[in-house]
Structure formats: structure tokens, C-alpha cells
Amino acid sequence: MIRLLRPHLFLIFCFPLCVFDVFAQTVNGTVKDAVTGDLLPFTNVFLNNTTIGTTTDEDGFFELSRPDLPGTFQLVASFVGYTTSTIEVSVGENETKTVDFILTPLESLLSEVELKSRRDKPWERNLKRFQDVFLALPDDPIAGQLEITNPWVLEFEKVKPDKGVNYIQATAQEPLIIENDALGYKITYYLQDYKFYNFKSSYYGLAFFQEKDITDSIKLNQTQLNKETSYQGSIKHLMKSILLQDLPEQGFDLYETFPEQMNRRRTNTYTVELGESITPLAQDSIRRIPLRNGNFRIIWPKRVEVHFLKKNWRNEYYVDIYHPVGWVTAPLGYFDIDRNGVPIHPTQVVLSGYIGRPRMGRSLPHDFTPENTFESFAAEVDFGKRAVNRWQNLRETPYLLTNKPYYYPGETVWLGGRMLYKNQFYQDTLSRVLHVELLDARSQVVLANQYLISDGHMQGAMSLPDSLPQGDYFIRAYTEWMKNYPERDIFLRALPVVKKGLNIQNQPISQVDFLGDLEFVLKDSVYKEEGYQVMDLELSIRDELDELIPNEVMISATDPKLVSQISGQTSIMQAYEWMDLEEKDPLTIRPKHSIEYGITVVGQFIKDKKRQPDINPITIVRGDLADYGIVKTDTLGNFRATGLNFYEWDTLSIAALDKRQKPYGSVVLNSRESPIFKGSFPRLSYTKYETNENQMYYDILGDYILLEEFVAEDERIETLADRFYGYGQPDQLYSREDLDNWPGNTLDQVIGMRFGNGRLGNFNYGLNAGQPLIIIDGSRYLYSSDSTETANTVLQTLITDEVKSVAIFTTSANTFGLAGFAGVIMIETNRGDRFAEGEEKSFNDFGFQKFAFRGFAEEIPFLNEPTEEQPLTRRPSLYWNPSAKLPKGKYAFKVYVPIGVSEMDIRIEGVTDEGLSFWKTFRIELE
């Protein structure tokens, strides 16, 4: 199944030119066929976006006369089989205006059966995208009460203009019929334009609203409540309040916004931003200029922040207010509205935030009049669904690809893959440790490793023992957090192991038909380089609009004479079907397993004296102060520390220390238990045959040492500070030049400007992250043990004039291990390094218990290029890159071809930036 993430929405709200008046007016006229001149009976004639309408009589004549007829409006005439026509009408008090329509017949019409027969998977996918944009947001509780009853009238077409970007266009030969049970309307919608381009959508149409006949009093009250709720805080409500100069009474607060300053970053705290990036906008400062046509021109600051105080709302922008916040932007500095608060030209107003949420399902006819007294609101967000979705949003599952489909004892299995998240927003919140196990036919764990998850991706290797018997094995991959969810979230991949001297019969692989959604091109050329034969390859991927599409892919290349293809293996497209799985029963959990942010230590403290406290601080030190941290036990003595970052094995020194730093009590560590396998064994079907052992080659690495490269003497030697003491590039860096913008300020003020309230953006879900690690001139700062000292109090002792640079690590703070769990602030002062490179440091480990502890799996790189130590030899796997990025839709790479290789199988698996998963194989013949 092909998975599409929801595209960004660019909505154009289209309103008619309506000016409602209290005097009766009359509009009459005829509707004729443009070709024959015949009058058209029973033609629909209505005022756009209202409930006001009629039909022509048998002679093609219509008349609308009523006291609530607007003074200026857009009149629409529509008849099946003809183009829809609109005329702007202005009619004075007690005036009768005659309007004649001439409708052009459509060239050809398909029957309903013919229309339905043309619907395929691309059409269904375009329809889903259209409905997501058009009807309602997914978390809107009325979404389930909205339906397009005749979706088959929609046609989607790829358009390639001579200039500009390609786009998908939707047309409808008949009006869309929308049943809105939530607001009590049947809407006839004449789609005039719909475009999908650059992952944005826009639509425009003409609408006629008909009130549903609701006899159930309870349902009638509910629809009225939904209508009032949809009106309150809407753009129409805001504009009408501006005209009547009663913004505060209606619950609106307006703020003019200012561009971000170079020496200040905006925070998410309202009280901090008030007077800095936003300032109150008085309603009498908004100019309203009457126009001759009865409309008004509103002179508007380019971007205004709108707060609606009469609704409670889980605000996702500010952390300290709980009402809706939106933004209204006027690119021209003004916009025109009618007397009912309806914008005349939609492109003059750009809406975002809360005020930009409404879709067609929340639209009200322009002749809707709200009640004068209105105190309660219907739900605009399904909080019950949101509560269930809270746990759904925190679900994750891995997908792993191996460098080839089967292996021999003693070979290395190279793994690569990505994490799939129900909600991508929580990527930085969720696991950073992936547990990967090899299980045999009896579902017993044979090998187990743990791998670092970085930026939602992982890669590594697993060495198979020489003594491993042949048979059907499978890989199981999961995170500790995944144990809280159904077992089907755990990833399984078949991994046959074949005895040396045997091979597997090749099986045909059926390619996926992407029905024009994706197009793959692999260009190749062969040349010689330093005696080696090299194949230059360029992979390009285009979307349904023939545009190069950004994506990430995993690439493997194998020798088909040594590696056969096996059908039935799990692909990334199957893995992405998990994203669409809906729980039959609401999923709510009480987590028993925690998120791992690095290598995790779990244990229990045992008192050696009864009077010792119930809650005890446990100090954990890795190696010779390579990392350290302090965690507290619960009242039962249990403790857990996560965030350590090291490979293979290391020594952990653990003890409870009193105020005099003397150890007491003892510690017992808990062993990690693998979950019992209860699923279905992922076995592949294949046939083995005997081969000539002398003609077989294996992916077995020999021992080798990488040569160190030396720096020329005249090059500047980097100091530890230049390299950020070996911890890599920070997420934010303030140089001496940057700090000059805050002369005399203490560092807590500088950090506070960047992160708001001085916090480093704690993304650790459900955990008390504590204080960030502070490193001053390469030395880790040790907070006092009385818990009164914080990062802010330390930063208040340093001023910008004394500092060379400040580096902030947040999402990359896992490099620092346990100590950097809450983020890292690295400061280089004018005094310089406190210790020289190579200076020995140690801590007093007296009284600490020592534990040998396993870290992440050994890193075994796949050598895509030959070296002096590893020359090019015949081998089954020719190329492996599990993390190729195609930011512009193209990726160039080269494969060194050993002697004897005449053809090559290349497999790619990946995901586009819009969430469309794919895989494809290529067979390349070498000249």
C-alpha cells in the first residue's frame, strides 16, 4: 500500500460580494440555451454561499423577491449538462433588477456508470487528498458527519504548463452534493477550481445551502449549537466585530506582530513576548473607509495576532495561555469586506492558526445570523479521540533492510533502516535505542545487539558465528517503549542461513506498478580508476507531476551470480501499511516500559542500615569519568538511568553516596529480558542447490588497520575547544561576534532569549530531565548536592565580556551520554582550556561497585571503496548505503566492480519527503 502524508494546506476562502440590507428588492429574468436560444425550465438560480434561491418555471423565467435580499450579491444559474454562470448584481431599495442568463451546453457528459468505471487507485488517492483539504480537519469531531455523496463526478488531471510548476487539477461535470449532518445543511457545491502543487492545495467554488428538515428536537439543538460554535471566533465574526467596534465585548484581543530581531529569538511564552514581538492593537486604531459600493476598506497592519478569549483551547503556540490564537495577514496592507464581515477578495486575506482551521464542513451561509446571547460551545476537537490518539501518537516501529536476502555462517549482516512514527512530531521524544535479535526456528534468541537511533535512522552490522547451523532464522527489532503496545508493532524479517557449498535458486521478483505516481531512472556508465573498473550511477526519482522529488533511500548492490533473489520478503511499502492501521478498540495504556534515550541501567539499591533514607541518590560513572550521572531511587530502592552512549563493553562504577561523598549500601543490577515471541514465524520459501565451493565467495571481512592521515606542519593545529572537545557540532553557537550584541549581559539572559525561560527545549517525554550539563573550558561543572543550584544560577555568574563562545546542544546532546540528558551548554571563557589535551583525569572509585556493561553494537563499516589494507576482491555484496539522501531528487554514487563480475542487481527502498514509500530493483549488464 502506498502511504501519503497529509500535504500542507493552502486554503483560499471564497466569499461573494454580498451586502445585506433591510429593504426588499426583486431580481427576475430568464435562462436560455446559448446554442438554440431555447428557454431552460427548472434551472437552479441562487445567491452564492447563501440559502436564498429558486428555480425557473416552465417558461424559463425566475423571480426572487424577499425582504432579506442583499443589496449586492453574486447570482448563480446552474442546469445539468450546461456550464454554470455567475453575474454580480447590485439592486437598490425597492428596485426590480432584470438579469438574463445564457448557459453553454457541455460538449460531452459521461454517465454515472462510466464515471465510476474510470476510478482507479491514483483517483482514490487524489480523492482522499481532496477530502482532507476540503471537508474538515482529522481532529474535528464533525468530520464523521460530513459526506460527499457523489464523489465519482470528480476528475483529476495532471497539468504541465509551459511556465511554472506542474500541478494536479480537479474538475467536476456535476455539482458536488455534501451532506453536513453536523450543521444541518445539504450543500450543492459547484467546483470552479482545485489545484494541488508543491504539496499545497487551493480550491474555489460556488455553494448553495439548504436547511435540512430536522424534527428531532435534541438533534436540532445540537446542530444549532454547532452552527454557533463555528461562527464564534471565525473570520466573519472577527470582521463584523471590527465594523461594529465591539472587539473586546465579542472576546477578541488583537496584537500587532513584529519581525524577529537579529539579536533575539522568539520564545513560546506569551508573557515574555508581550511588548517584545507583539504589542496590543487598539480597535480604534484600525481604519474603516466606506466605499461607494457599500463595502468597507480595512487598513490593516501586515500581520495581526488574534486571540479569542471566549473559548478554551489547548494552545500549541504559547505554553502559558489556553485560548485560540490565530493570525490574519494582509499582503497589501488592506482588505475589503461587506457589511456582514465577509471579505470581498479572498486573496487579500491570509489566515493561519486557529482562525484558519475551518474547512467546508464548518462553513456557514452568509445569511446566517447568530443569536444575540450565546454562552456555551460545542466541541471543536474530539478530546476523547485526542486522548486515545495521545497514545497512538507515541507509537513507533522500525523497518530494517539487509544488504542481501540470505547469508552463510561467518558472514557479516549489514543492517540499515528507519523508525516509523504515528506522529513524526514526536521523533525527538521517542526511543534512541533499537534492540535487534536473531532468532532460530524454535524462536530462541541466538544473537542480540542494541543500536543507536539517530534522527529516526539506524545502521549497523551483526556478525554471524562460523558455527551457526544452516536453517531458517529471522530478525526481530523493537524498542523498550514498544513493549507497551501490541506485539504486531515489533518488526520481523526472515533471514535464511545457508550451508557453505550450497546456494539458493533465483526467484523472479514482481515489480510494483506505481501507476504514474513515481518514475525511477538509473543511468550508468563504466570507466577505469587506478586500475579498477568503476560503474558510475545516477538515480533520479520523479513524482506524478514529473518533478524531481526529494527522498531518502537505502541502496544495495549484489553480484547475481553469487546472490539470488527471493520473493516474499518484507518491503518498506508493507511496513508503511502500519501507519494506516486503525485500532478496533480504543488504545489506552499505562506504560510499564520506559523510553530509552541511550544505554540504560536498571537496578535496585539495598540498604545496609535501617536508618538510611528511603530515597537514595545513585551515582553512576562510566570508565574513568568518561560519563557520569546521578539518579534517585524510588521508596522501594528501584532506580533507572538512561542516556549512556558508548560502544561494545565498558565498566560502570555505581554507588550511593552520602553528603560526605562516602558510599553506603549496595546495588544490584537487573538483567534485560527479551520478550517472549508469540507471533507467526516469517519463513520464506526457497530451493537450495549444490555449487562448486571454489566458485563461491562470502562477505567475510579480514583483519585490517586503517592508516592515520597526518597534518602538514604549517597547518593550524586545532585545539580541543575548536573541536568542541570532541563532541561534534552544536545545535546553536554564539561566537564572540554574536556575544558582542549583548555587552555586559549575564549568560542566563542570552540563553533565555534563545529558548524561553532559559530551558533548552526538553523533548524527553514524561521524564524529569533535571539540569542541563554545563561544560566550562572543557571541564564538566558539578552542581552542589543540596539541589538548590541550577543552570540559571551558574550562568548568572558569567557575563558575555568574559566569554569567547557559547555552544548549545539539544537534539544532539545524546553524544554526551547520561550527563547530557537535559541538554548541554558548553562555554569557552577568555581564560582558555583548563586542562591540556592528553592530561590524565581520574576519580576516586573507592567503595564503588564495578559492573562490566554492554553498550551499542560494534561498528563494522561496509567498505564501498577499496583501500590499501582492503583491496578489491570478488564478493557477493558490491555496494551498501542505508542512508542515501536525495534532497533534489537525484543521487550519484559509484560501485567498484571486481574482476569476474558481469552483471549487477541493485535494490532501492525508500520514502519520499511526502511519505510515499517505494522499492524497486534494477538488473545492470556490464560491458
Instruction: Please classify residue 690 by burial: count the beta carbons closer than 10 Å to its beta carbon, then call 0-12 exposed, 13-18 middle and 19+ buried.
Output: exposed
> Do residues 809 and 824 make contact, with C-beta atoms less than 8 angstroms apart?
yes
pLDDT at 285: 92
pLDDT at 740: 82
- Strand-strand pairing, 773-776 and 824-829: parallel
pLDDT at 754: 52
CA-wise closest residue to 359 among 200, 195, 137, 199: 137
pLDDT digit string (tens) for 353-368?
889 888 899 999 988 8
Give the SS3 label for residue 185.
strand
pLDDT at 820: 72
Helix and strand tally (H, E) in the chain? Answer: 11, 51
In whole angstroms, give the CA distance from residue 697 to residue 515.
Answer: 39
pLDDT at 393: 78
- Strand-strand pairing, 96-98 and 25-33: parallel
pTM over cut 0.85? no
**329 grid coordinates:** 495577514
In SS3 terms, 223-277 reads as: HHHHHHHHHCCCHHHHHHHHHHCCHHHHCEEEEEECCCCCCCCCCCCHHHHECCC
Q: How far is CA 815 from CA 158, 478, 659, in A?
A: 47, 22, 30
Q: What are phi and psi of 529, to 5 degrees?
A: -145, 115
Up-side HSE of residue 290: CA atoms within 13 Å toward CB? 4
Up-side HSE of residue 217: CA atoms within 13 Å toward CB? 0
pLDDT at 588: 56
In SS3 terms, 729-776 reads as: CCCEEECHHHHCCCCCCEHHHHHHHHHCCCCCCCCCCCCCCCCCEEEE
Nearest 10 degrees: CA dihedral of 420, 421, 425, 430? -100
The parts of the chain modelled with pLDDT lower than 70 are 1-23, 71, 108-120, 198-199, 262-263, 372-390, 582-589, 701-727, 752-769, 782, 784-788, 811-815, 817-818, 831-843, 927
pLDDT at 73: 84
pLDDT digit string (tens) for 474-504?
999 999 999 988 888 999 999 999 999 999 9
**217 grid coordinates:** 428536537
